[in-house]
Structure 1
């Protein structure tokens, strides 16, 4: 049996390989999520000069919806995705890097906002990724999450659980519980809403130290 660390490493290699294949068509594949991304980002408040971390940035579709004047740190495990994200926008100062979202090369409390869109259901260790997001986000920062989660208080439908092993190989897990991921992370959910025919969740989170 592989150890936890080697299992994560194998998952990362698989993710890097398949997303290298997906890179040329990724924008087309995620076009149905464009409105949801825009809605998620519109729920955040930005000031000129803010530093925005985009976790699992892909070729950078989130950049299309960020206001001009913010700085962007875009990280992804797949070099082909990072190359596309680095040159996507002419209205943002983009710093793009190849990085594991579970071990971000970013200082504590150093970003004003984090976008985690369609990434937590893909990574090998989503709990660790949430912990990293909490670590790098400033105490008064904000986090946008867009992904497929089971309904609160459930384990997902029988069908969803039955097809999950195949879905994990092809694209992502279908059985993540957002509340369980957030619990103990140092973050709190301020808002959540369903999107895309109720199959996806848009959530806004903040560090627990933030008042309000």
Structure 2
């Protein structure tokens, strides 16, 4: 287990990674996941909803569209600003607040639902993150999660990145959040029940080269991985990503459509 100061140092590096590029360029393409999660959680008008590790606010917007009273949080302020811009453009009412999912600044049982789409899974301390989400969710409330699976495309992409730029020793893989066994372990003491459904999101680009260009420019973890490598090793990473993308592409030679499995989970708070 990592010591708290090691987690703090790692988190600082993660913040820098997610603040690099512009995740919102990628994040906006994932909006359908937020809509699906809001429906799975059966959100109601005027319910108090927290979007934790919200990024640019996909679950935030989905909840606000359903009349919920939403608080959108992330530890990267620039991402929250992009979410706030989107909310203003749609005239949706939501509050935006810088906050760390591992140390949420809210009272116990403050929310009827706590959501996270591809966010909390990247926090280094899995157990603490799960405990904090459960703490601020009222008994009988719902914790709704969308997490990439280890076997899906994004899970495989992170394995490729890890071969070229190894992650810190002892860190649990983010994709563990995309397994039912890990969710049951994390929420064993706080969940009344856990309903989990495998789903797919389709990444749509012109080609493998187009996908890599967009992700190495805008997606923090890929951007940082390429930046950390000398030219010859960056070419090797690009080749491995190209092979993965072309192998999973279901669109043929003239386009790129890559299905990526994720786990949609609704955890009812005990």
Aligned to 1:199: 261
Q: 2 CA distance for matches of 1:179 and 1:17?
A: 31
Which residue of the partner structure matches residue 146 of structure 1?
Answer: 146
Taking the TM superposition and a 5 Å limit, the aligned residue runs for 1:35-50 are 35-50=32-47
Residue 118 of structure 1 and its aligned partner are, at CA, apart by 0.3
* Contact map agreement 2:180 2:196 (CA 8 A) in 1: no
CA distance in 2, matches of 1:205, 1:69: 21
Alpha-carbon spacing, 1:112–1:71, altered in 2? closer, same or farther (3 Å): same
Against the structure 1 CA distance between its residues 26 and 48, is the aligned structure 2 distance closer, same or farther, given a 3 Å change threshold? same
With 100-109 and 28-37 compared, the bigger mean Cα shift is at 28-37
- SS where residue 199 of structure 2 aligns? strand
Does the CA contact (< 8 Å) of 2:195 and 2:266 recur in 1?
yes
Q: Does 1:180 align with 2:185?
A: no
Query: Matched residues in 2 for 1:63 and 1:185: separation?
Result: 27
Equivalent residue pairs, number: 198
Give the Cα–Cα distance (whole angstroms) in 1 for the partners of residues 7 and 33 of structure 2.
29
Name the counterpart of 2:133: 133
Cα contact 2:28–2:56 (8 A) shared by 1: no
- 1:145/1:204 contact within 8 Å kept: yes
Q: 1: CA distance between counterparts of 2:110 and 2:37?
A: 22
Aligned-residue Cα RMSD (Å) equals 2.8
Per mean C-alpha deviation after superposition, the further-off stretch among 31-40 and 42-51 is 31-40
Moved more, 129-138 or 80-89: 80-89
Distance 1:14 1:94, change over 3 A: same
* Structure 1 runs not aligned, ≥5 long: none
The residue that corresponds to 2:215 in the other structure is none
Q: TM-score, normalised by structure 1?
A: 0.79
TM-score by length of 2: 0.64
Distance in 1 separating the partners of 2:194 and 2:264: 11
Offset, 1:11: 1.6
Q: Which runs of no fewer than 5 residues in structure 2 stay unpaired?
A: 202-258
User: For the residues of structure 1 that align with 2:51 and 2:200, how far apart are their CA atoms?
Assistant: 20
State whether residues 55 and 114 of structure 1, in contact with CA within 8 Å, keep that contact through their aligned partners in structure 2. yes
**Cα 1:192/1:168, change in 2 over 3 Å:** farther
1:60 aligns with 2:57: yes
Compare 4-13 and 34-43 and name the one that shifted more: 34-43
Q: Is the Cα contact below 8 Å between 1:49 and 1:69 reproduced in 2? A: yes
Q: Secondary structure at the match of 1:30?
A: helix
- Of 115-124 and 58-67, deviating more is 58-67
Q: Partners in 2 of 1:174 and 1:3 — Cα distance?
A: 18
